[in-house]
């Protein structure tokens, strides 16, 4: 009976493991978010530069190559 009761009771460190996994997932998500924001700003600048060059080529002044 003692063995049966010991198996059915949750271990005390299982909650700590869940918290540790949650912290790891949160840290990974934060890194992914920071990388996405950094790439977003870089891509935004690339589009701005490209579209301004296209606009300049289509204007009366011609392409500044």
pLDDT in tens, 20-55: 999 999 999 999 999 999 888 888 888 888 888 888
Residue 37 lies in a domain: yes
Residue 7 lies in a domain: no
| Average pLDDT for 5-23 | 73
Residue 65 lies in a domain: no
Other Cβ atoms within 10 Å of 53 Cβ, number: 13
Between CA 53 and CA 18 the distance in angstroms is 53
Please give the residue range of the domain that contains residue 25: 14-56
Residue 5 lies in a domain: no
Collapsing DSSP to helix, strand or coil, 50 comes out as helix
Residue 63 lies in a domain: no
pLDDT > 70? residue 14: no
Number of domains in the chain: 1
Other Cβ atoms within 10 Å of 23 Cβ, number: 10
Residue 24 lies in a domain: yes
Residue 48 lies in a domain: yes
Other Cβ atoms within 10 Å of 26 Cβ, number: 10
């Amino acid at each position: 009976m003692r063995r049966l009761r010991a198996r059915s009771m949750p271990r005390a460190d299982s909650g700590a493991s869940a918290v540790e996994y949650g912290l790891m997932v949160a840290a990974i998500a934060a890194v992914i978010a920071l990388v996405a924001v950094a790439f977003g700003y870089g891509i935004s600048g690339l589009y701005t530069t490209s579209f301004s060059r296209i606009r300049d080529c289509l204007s009366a002044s011609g392409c500044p190559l």
